[in-house]
A and B are shown apart, each in its own frame.
Chain A
């Protein structure tokens, strides 16, 4: 229990620190008044705006007000769109979430079976090809994978769209592309691109874990009892191997945030990643600082969940090695 409280405290400190950085950015970078009133405003109008935004108050008061705003969901107004940032995020989150989830499903759906295969059938041609490909895969930048896929499947073969989300249906605030054919078609290439490196990672992890588990004595016991091979592989071995894999996968969700920025840029996918890139290009400071708060919030929450759950599941995981990758 003390452990949980300590992690909560830790997470709160991190959030406070990022909130502070966020506040400094939004308050002191550029001129908030200038961006709000436009170029033709008179001096009196500027001063009125200055007072309205509360820019004369002491810095500490402004910081507290900023924190209050964030906690109540007010993340400022975008310079570029003129709309509340929270609304922008809410509109674009479904696109990013759908992409991330389908990429994860693809990665796990392919990665786990392939990982099991390469662990069991060590000498086969498929195993050697897969292992060689996974070495190359680490050196492939994500944006290049996307470009090659577009070239092959969209430009040359014309099977799948090269950008956009296709036709989406609005389910009361959540726009989904899963209910239309064009939406589903548009989802394929981006999910493949985003999921590819995750798949490589999962495959290597599952392979390592299954290889380790297969050497355990309870497996030998099952074999000697005459349990059919398939049951051994999937029920006994895989079940034990999956625990650390699940934890690492949960941590990798954070990675998805980063890589989805790239994938959304390549495919012009209207999600949070594209929003951030455009905010950087247009110096849309409120969006940037809100994104900072969002990212740190998601990461803190994710880490907290994993920190609390993983020792409960598997004590070996207390110091998990993080497999980092560039892009």
Chain B
């Protein structure tokens, strides 16, 4: 399967783009031309310069500068890092919660199953952005700004994963219900293998593949939800801007025609989401075509 990706040009190029973006994002401290967090690198005299211009002291800004004189390219790389980190974290947590609940309710059934599925049913009709917004918003209202800034990223990850866990739980539960009656499970239990081991080492590998597909599909969703929340002002704190925050800051200057400060980070966001989606589509077609949507 590893080499088959070369046969699908769309998936191959998406994977390549995504790899480059990840390297740029997580290698930002080493690769970015300027350190976006270093106050000394922001030259207010160079604020709001269009792409391709040069600053007063000869600094070149390939993508222009933001309202505080920071190089936009560096800011975007650091912002991408934050966006990807929150996105990955949210999906990982959602997968953890969903798969665990799916395994437990699928295997044990009973009242646990009934309760979990009721909650899942209710939540499935709510759009992720609304759930995440309400959780995050109420938390922001409860804590004052300073304490919120410290807890912002964990709260954000928790809020987004709460909106995404249901798909994992449902799929894993359905599969677990099928697997639990199979011979290898019965054999393991008769031989005295503990409950935890049966679930993790025996059943999980057989029900885990669809979860991987769902994770890939939802990664773009998580990143876009985080970007939207940051754009609305209830996402990551200003000290750790993500791409959504950058769009928000740049948006204030849209009317004076300084388009690059919001459009370029936005474009990067779309590029990330699109390549994840295309790669995820290819992955899903190869691993589990049953989850394909029209």
Point out residues on A near B: beta carbons under 8 Å: 14, 25, 29-30, 135-136, 138-144, 147-148, 150-151, 155-156, 162, 204-205, 207-208, 251, 254-255, 257-259, 261-262, 265-266, 276-277, 279-281, 283-285, 288, 292, 295, 299, 302-303, 321-327
Task: Name the CB-closest residue of A to B228.
Answer: A327
A280, B255: Cβ atoms closer than 8 Å = no
Sample of 19 further A-B pairs with CB below 8 A, known A30-B141, A326-B223: A14-B122, A25-B138, A141-B227, A141-B231, A141-B269, A143-B227, A143-B232, A147-B251, A147-B262, A151-B254, A155-B257, A258-B129, A261-B130, A279-B141, A280-B141, A285-B141, A295-B134, A326-B224, A326-B225
Question: What is the CB-to-nearest-CB distance from B282 to chain A, in angstroms, rounded to a whole number?
Answer: 12
Contact B247 A251 (CB under 8 A): no
B96 interface residue per 8 A CB criterion: no
CB contact between B263 and one of A151, A285, A295, A323 (< 8 Å): that residue: A151
In the complex, the answer to whether A265 meets B220 with C-beta atoms within 8 Å is no
Q: 7 smallest A-B Cβ distances: which pairs?
A: A208-B294, A326-B224, A327-B228, A139-B273, A280-B137, A258-B130, A326-B221
Question: In the complex, what residue of chain A is closest to B122 when comparing beta carbons?
Answer: A14
CA distance A29 to B137 in the complex (A): 12
When C-beta atoms are compared, the residue in chain A nearest to B230 turns out to be: A143
Among B122, B247, B259, B276, the residue within 8 A (CB) of A143 is B247
Find out whether the CB atom of B133 lies under 8 angstroms from the CB atom of A258.
yes
A107 vs B224: C-alpha distance when bound (angstroms): 22
Shortest A200–chain B CB gap in Å is: 12
Residue of B nearest to A136 (CB): B274
Q: Which residues of A contact B273 (CB under 8 A)?
A: 138-141, 326
Query: What residues of chain A lie closer than 8 Å to B23, measured between beta carbons?
Result: none
Nearest opposing residue in chain B for A25, CB measure: B138
A142 to B269, CA, bound (A): 12
Contact partners of B234 in chain A: CB under 8 A: 280
Shortest distance in angstroms between B244's beta carbon and chain A's nearest beta carbon? 8
Q: Is the CB of B125 within 8 A of A322?
A: yes
Complex contacts, A251 vs chain B, CB 8 Å: 125
Contacts of A30 in B (CB 8 A): 141-142
**23 pairs of residues in contact across A and B, judged by CB atoms under 8 Å:** A25-B138, A30-B141, A135-B278, A139-B224, A139-B270, A141-B227, A143-B247, A204-B294, A207-B294, A261-B133, A262-B228, A262-B232, A266-B251, A277-B232, A280-B133, A280-B140, A288-B137, A302-B125, A321-B293, A324-B128, A326-B220, A326-B225, A326-B273
Q: How far in angstroms is the closest Cβ of chain A from B51?
A: 15
CA distance A300 to B222 in the complex (A): 25
Name the residue of chain A whose CB is nearest to the CB of B133. A261
The chain B residue with its CB closest to the CB of A277 is B232
Does B233 belong to the interface (CB within 8 Å)? yes
B277 touches A (CB below 8 Å): yes
